[in-house]
Amino acid sequence: MDKKALSALAISILLGIMAVFLVSRYISNKEKKIYEGLQMATVIAAFQDIPAGTPIASEMFAPRNVPQKYIHGNAIAQKDFNRVIGETLNYPLKRGDTLLWSDLGKKERRGWRELADRVTKGERALSITVDSTGGVSGFLRPNDRIDLLGTFRSKETGEEATITLLQNMTILATGDSMAGMAVSPGSYGAITLLVTLEEAELLIFAQRQGQLIAALRNPEDLETFEEIPKVHFSNIMKTDFRDKIQKRRNAIEVIKQGKVSEREER
């Protein structure tokens, strides 16, 4: 092989190495940007598919680092994992699923303390009343994630407005039923939520002032939004206000026949 061919080969190899390096660096920077400012926490996730009724063993699970804002409120932390070894799963888990307190079978020591055992440290269990409309026609279930909205009337102006009060809330129980119990649609008049004390104050006051409505989330949708505008009569009549809402709707990914496509903006 002559010198020109060797030089060309060397340059090709060098360019290939540089390309791999640049791509790796780009991906690394993207990951840093995605997780920038997010506090990470360690949860326990299934290392394999696990059927319901299986006793929990350490080799079935592994620690998983997740941004704290995306962690399910009932997730079992790494430090608590030894406490649940030997307990039985109520539900099957897929590889990668986070292990939740409500996935566990009952212990003899539980009973009236079962709900208290499922409240994560630093939070509280709070029940709010819901009717058929406010409770998604009775189809809410323990472990569901919801947003809570309310409609209120100003005592000063008399004007009504609908606002989003809290997002991505965890339901601990519907009526007197928790995860692992059979629940019939529409068989409850209250839901119990996992809340902080500040959230509890907000919900108690809001329920005394107006009607609360639950909006059910997809279990994998954990994103929250800032500065959601309140809706009242003066802005609902504006075309540009409605158009902005419609544009966001058009951008939502739609899954059809196993394929993900993005709606075109009109």
SS3 204: helix
Residue 242: its pLDDT value, please? 84
Task: Give the Å distances, CA to CA, from 2 to 7, 13, 14, 16, 261.
Answer: 9, 17, 18, 21, 52
The pLDDT tens digits of the residues spanning 80-112 come to 888 888 888 888 888 888 898 878 865 433 444
- Pairwise CA distance, residues 36 & 31, whole Å: 8
Q: Are strands 190-195 and 160-174 parallel, antiparallel or unpaired?
A: antiparallel
Judge residue 10's burial from the number of C-beta atoms within 10 Å of its C-beta, 0-12 exposed, 13-18 middle, 19 or more buried: exposed
Q: Which of 189, 214, 180 is nearest to 89 (CA)?
A: 180
* DSSP codes joined into one string, 149-165: EEEEE-TTT--EEEEEE
Residue 145: its pLDDT value, please? 92
- Pairwise CA distance, residues 182 & 47, whole Å: 28
Pick one of 3.90.1210.10, 3.40.50.720, 3.40.1500.10, 3.10.20.30 as the CATH number of 40-105.
3.90.1210.10
Residue 206: its pLDDT value, please? 92
| C-alpha torsion sign, points 165, 215, 117, 62 | negative
Token pair recorded at residue 11: 């340059």
Those residues of the chain that have pLDDT short of 70 are 1-6, 28, 30-38, 105-114, 179-186, 253-266
